[in-house]
Amino acid sequence: MAELQSIKARFGIIGNFPALNRALEKAIQVAPTDISVLVMGESGVGKEFIPKIIHGESRRKHQPYIVVNCGAIPEGTIDSELFGHEKGAFTGATSTRKGYFEVADGGTIFLDEVGELPLQTQVRLLRVLESGEFMKVGSSQVQKTNVRIVAATNVNMMKAIGDNRFREDLYYRLNTVQIDMPALRERKGDIHLLFRKFAIDFAEKYRMPELKLTDDAVSYLENYAFPGNVRQLRNLVEQMTVVEQNREVNSTKLAEYIPMNANLPAVISKTNTTGTSTDFSSERDIMYKILFDMRSDINDLKSLTSELIKNKGNSDLSLQEKNLINRIYTPDTQQATSPNSLLYFENNNSQQNQIHHPTIVSDNEDHDYNDVEDIEIEESRPESLSLQNNEKDLIIKALEKHKGRRNKAADELGISQRTLYRKIKQYNLEE
């Protein structure tokens, strides 16, 4: 217990949540060995402390410690960054360069966001883990290295393996020991402690009085979900330290910075120790759900339209059918009011709460409607619901907005540069 408190004090870790203590204890236990460690946890929980503890408590503590953000390095250069390259290996390689595995020989490499590694690089990394051997890009000479690897990721690894985005053999090789960092919303008792610590630090940094929370503000803070975890809390305290004039903050003021309904769009991925997700694991899953719901509404609307045609628009609509019409076709939408649309709303300036039924429009006014089977209806083509088309359009718009600057476009889209490069190549947008 004394050793655990010493580690917390040394690395500035605040909190007494059992799962946090367990993660730190495992890091201390494995530090003297050369076992590979995989740190799992959401973004912002403080995964970077674990490799620092492992390196600092190991026999390698006087050797190099290198942090590599795998998601921030473009796919075309990551092999060169990790393993080095020979002169002339590719365009721009004007000299021989050492990679991180050569520079960190005898020390520790922390591979952050390891789930973002390209498959080709994963093969090279697996060889290093199994034999300690690697080759520089453009070289045929095998080199040896003695490096301890600690990796971290916020990706659902089992899903990534199932999607063929991560090698299963590499996962099990990295995951000799798994350390799980708990989310901040699970550490309710630690939230106020962290707030006070950050408030003291920023008061000293900016030479301002320390922020204090009222009891209702503490309760409000502890019931907030914190999708950004400790990083979000730290940024919140820094912002309030600089902006707020009143140094005592109540729940009303706190709600101006983190409104409770801001939690609603956040979908939290519940992952157990095996990495199996029990909820939506990515924004892609949310998009799929939305598209499937839209497709269901469109199919229901088609059925309703067919029924109205058969009954010449005189059907009594159920409450569910009226809600469907109001949800998809509203009087202020372009699609519903366009004369060229198959369905539009007949507005006769009657009572405000009147349900406007769709009216069937034909290009041929002289058409005989006595026989329903003779009616030929051209379905208006809905906007494409393809994820790939929408994704491609968003990338094009972002690149045009930032005049081809891919780093700015990646920030706009909320993805890493490496992911953007891969998408550009996938959709043939390099020109």
pLDDT above 60 for 142 = yes
Between 400 and 370, where is the model more confident? 400
Res 42: pLDDT: 96
Question: In Å, what is the CA distance from 215 to each residue of 17, 74, 234, 258?
Answer: 21, 47, 20, 17
Beta partners for 277?
271
**Rg, Å, the chain Cα set:** 29
Which backbone phi and psi does 85 adopt, to 5 degrees?
Answer: -150, 160
pLDDT tens per residue across span 277-330:
444 444 555 665 566 666 666 766 666 676 666 665 555 656 556 665 665 554
Res 357: pLDDT: 43
The percentage of residues in the chain with a pLDDT greater than 70, rounded to a whole number, is: 70
* Residues 201, 254: Cα–Cα separation, whole Å: 19
Dihedral, CA of residue 77, residue 83, residue 87 and residue 88, to nearest 10: -40
What does DSSP assign to residue 212? E
pLDDT above 50 for 17 = yes
| Residue 428: pLDDT band with limits 50, 70, 90 | confident
Res 378: pLDDT: 41
Res 412: pLDDT: 83
Sign of CA pseudo-dihedral 416, 154, 181, 110? negative
Q: How many CB atoms lie within 10 A of CB 363?
A: 8
| Residue 348: pLDDT band with limits 50, 70, 90 | very low
* Residues 18, 181: Cα–Cα separation, whole Å: 11
SS3 284: helix
* Residues 402, 74: Cα–Cα separation, whole Å: 19
pLDDT tens per residue across span 59-68:
999 999 999 9
Exposure of 354 by Cβ count < 10 A (0-12 exposed, 13-18 middle, 19+ buried)? exposed
Among 29-33, 213-217, 360-364, where is mean pLDDT lowest? 360-364
* Residues 70, 73: Cα–Cα separation, whole Å: 6
pLDDT tens per residue across span 74-111:
988 999 999 999 999 888 889 999 999 999 999 999 99
Residues contacting residue 303 through CB under 8 Å, at least 6 positions apart:
none
Between 381 and 298, where is the model more confident? 298
pLDDT above 90 for 380 = no
Between 402 and 210, where is the model more confident? 210
Mean pLDDT taken over the chain: 80
pLDDT above 80 for 127 = yes
Look up residue 1 and give its two tokens.
Answer: 């217990």
> In the chain, what are the domains?
2-180 (3.40.50.300), 188-263 (1.10.8.60), 284-374 (no CATH), 387-426 (1.10.10)
Q: Can you give the length of the chain in residues? A: 431
* Residues 349, 347: Cα–Cα separation, whole Å: 6
pLDDT above 70 for 363 = no
Does this model's pTM top 0.95? My answer is no
| Residue 346: pLDDT band with limits 50, 70, 90 | very low
Between 430 and 208, where is the model more confident? 208
pLDDT tens per residue across span 223-271:
999 999 999 999 999 999 999 999 999 999 999 999 876 544 444 444 4
Look up residue 275 and give its two tokens.
Answer: 């990495």
pLDDT tens per residue across span 183-204:
999 999 999 999 999 999 999 9
| Residue 151: pLDDT band with limits 50, 70, 90 | very high
Res 359: pLDDT: 41
